[in-house]
Amino acid sequence: MKKTINILLAGVGGQGTILASDVIANVGLAAGYQAKQAEVHGMSQRGGSVTSFVRWGEVVYSPLVGAGEVDILLAFEKAEALRNLNQLRPGALALVNLEAIEPVTVTSGGQTYPDDAQLRIAFAQITPDVVYIDGPGIAAKLGNPKVINVVLLGAMSALLEKQDWDGLEVSAETWLQAITERVPPKFVELNRQAFLAGRQAVLSPA
């Protein structure tokens, strides 16, 4: 891999974005690249937005990525996907989890939550390469909504294999290893299934 790959994770506090970015950073390291990760979580524990950058490359200097230079977006939530759209370079790869977490400004205030048409129209302006994934549905089938983050990692791993990223090669085993090291032993099997279900959703969509 010659160039650096800039990955952005965007979601809401409590969705597991930090664990996911931790896994992605360690996958990069395990695959033989330099990796850096930077969280921008502010007051996320109080329901705010969370973003996290991960960069892989032969040499990685900055842990941050400038606006308009993200190669891969992993959006955990629809409004946060839209909020971070201007972070993407044209033609970037976007993986969007079709989950809505309405902020209080919508649930008890006067603001409105974007509908799916708004989401799709906005993304179409910047890249044809958008994959929408029903994370909540897949996780519900596995019996635990908490594993949506690992479903998304599975989907991302498969998407990376479908495109050529300057010769980047990361095996599913490398991903599973990084996940296994970061979840409690009794949840390893559940997370393995979630990872595989995420891959399945991309490799052979229903």
Q: Does 146 bind another protein (CB under 8 A)?
A: no
Q: Does 199 bind another protein (CB under 8 A)?
A: no
Segment contacting another protein (CB under 8 A): 31-39, 135-143, 168-176, 181-189?
Answer: 31-39
Burial of 66: CB neighbours in 10 Å, binned 0-12, 13-18, 19+ = exposed
Residue with tokens 């759209």: 85
Segment contacting another protein (CB under 8 A): 103-111, 134-142, 153-161, 193-201?
Answer: 103-111
Q: Does 32 bind another protein (CB under 8 A)?
A: no
* Cα–Cα dist 82/68, whole Å: 14
CB of 88 to another protein, least distance (A): 7
Q: Does 73 bind another protein (CB under 8 A)?
A: no
Measuring CA to CA, which residue among 44, 16, 4, 31 is closest to residue 172? Answer: 31
Burial of 85: CB neighbours in 10 Å, binned 0-12, 13-18, 19+ = buried
Give the total residue count for the chain.
Answer: 206
CB closer to another protein out of 85 and 202: 85
Give the tokens for residue 135.
Answer: 């994370």
**Helical residues (DSSP H) of the chain, grouped into ranges:** 17-30, 78-83, 104-107, 116-124, 135-142, 148-162, 172-180, 188-203
Q: Does 111 bind another protein (CB under 8 A)?
A: yes
Binds another protein by CB under 8 A, chosen from 1, 98, 103, 134: 103
Q: Does 140 bind another protein (CB under 8 A)?
A: no
Return residues touching another protein (CB under 8 A).
12, 22, 25-26, 29, 34-49, 60-69, 79-80, 82-83, 85-86, 88-90, 102-109, 111-114, 118, 121-122, 125-126
